[in-house]
Homo-oligomer: A and B are copies of this chain.
Amino acid sequence: PQTFISPPSSVSCVQLETQKDLYPPPVSLLHVPLRYIGVLGNLYVLFESDRGLVLMDQHAAHERVLFERMLSYVGTNGVVPSQKLLLPQTIELSTRDSQMLREILPALQQLGISIAEFGPHTFLLDGLPALIKIGDPKQFVLDLIDGVKEATVPLDIRHLGWETLARTVCRHAVKAHDPLSHEEILALLEQLRHCQMPYTCPHGRPTLIELSYQEIEKKFGRVT
């Protein structure tokens, strides 16, 4: 049976992002009817499709939406709109982390994260991407640095593309985002429907999984 959730598993996420033109577009999520049922564990949104149960990982979906918005901003205007913090925050780092942050400052600036050098180990954070809401800006930057370190082991910051960085920004941006209202969930689905690659998060994990009626019937012993 035709499946609408079908990124080929042999192709990595990075390939999908960079080889867009070679990769045939999946069946458009735009045209898949999904009836909202409810939310499981404050994370998984349950929908009824024509073929069974669909679960959306709201974090993964949100990452995808945010990532594509960042891509499109940098692609068209060259820079993601930044929102000034009411209170700029100072960030103290180790020698090594300071060196690393210094190297990615221009790319962060492009993504709407405004950080300036304030001393050899001190930085001043005074702006964040207007696209996202961050509860604790300083912690967000510290987590982001951790994420960048993870993404570049062995550490070679010079080869870190801004796409990789945007991916890391997105991951840390949506982590704090928790229970969503009914309206926010439907808006998120709508945004996901309009993504170019709606079926995976920027790291290649699924945003949607499906439990078909056939699988459910099998579990219930209705068919064998």
Residues of A at the B interface (CB closer than 8 Å) are 37-41, 44, 46, 48, 52-53, 55, 57, 60, 204-206, 209, 211, 213, 216, 219-222
Are A44 and B209 touching (Cβ within 8 A)? no
16 A-B contact pairs sorted by A residue (CB < 8 Å): A37-B37, A37-B46, A41-B48, A44-B216, A46-B46, A55-B216, A55-B219, A55-B220, A57-B220, A57-B222, A204-B221, A205-B220, A205-B221, A206-B220, A206-B221, A209-B216
- Given A37-B40, A37-B46, A41-B52, A219 and B213 touching (CB < 8 A)? no
A57 — which chain B residues lie within 8 A by C-beta? Answer: 220, 222
A37 — which chain B residues lie within 8 A by C-beta? Answer: 37-40, 46
A107 and B38 CA atoms in complex are apart in Å by: 45
Report the nearest B residue to A37, measured CB to CB: B38
Name the distance in Å between A56's Cβ and chain B's nearest Cβ. 10
A220 and B199 CA atoms in complex are apart in Å by: 11
Name the distance in Å between A48's Cβ and chain B's nearest Cβ. 5
Name the distance in Å between A212's Cβ and chain B's nearest Cβ. 11
A205 — which chain B residues lie within 8 A by C-beta? Answer: 220-222
A62 and B48 CA atoms in complex are apart in Å by: 23
Are B209 and A41 touching (Cβ within 8 A)? no
Are B53 and A40 touching (Cβ within 8 A)? yes
Report the nearest B residue to A221, measured CB to CB: B205
